[in-house]
Amino acid sequence: MIEEQIQTLIAEFAEGCEILPVSLETLQYAAKLRDRYSLSFWDSLIVASAILGEASILYSEDMQNGLIIENTLQIVNPFLAVKI
């Protein structure tokens, strides 16, 4: 992607999504989740942000499909049903 496309994509995300800052609370929660669920640093940060943003489903092809975190967030691999 060229820079102009990237900037357009960011603007479109900002219009249609709630953007949450990475706060101290998010980092501390991510550390707890990392230990409890054996997540990588980046995955725990994504999961913590999703939970604090009150998401109920997190789509990821890299995390464990079907995993339910904190009884509130379910990991779903959107590519499992895709047949090539």
Average pLDDT of each block of 10 consecutive residues along the chain (84 residues)?
94 90 96 96 97 96 95 95 66
In a domain, 14, yes or no: no
In a domain, 15, yes or no: no
C-alpha–C-alpha distance, residues 68 and 74, integer Å: 4
| pTM across the whole model | 0.81
In a domain, 43, yes or no: yes
Q: Which of 59, 53, 84 is nearest to 74 (CA)?
A: 59
In a domain, 36, yes or no: yes
Three-class SS state of 15: helix
Q: How many domains does the chain have?
A: 1
Q: Residue 84's pLDDT is what?
A: 63
In a domain, 5, yes or no: no
Supply the range of the domain harboring residue 79. Answer: 22-84
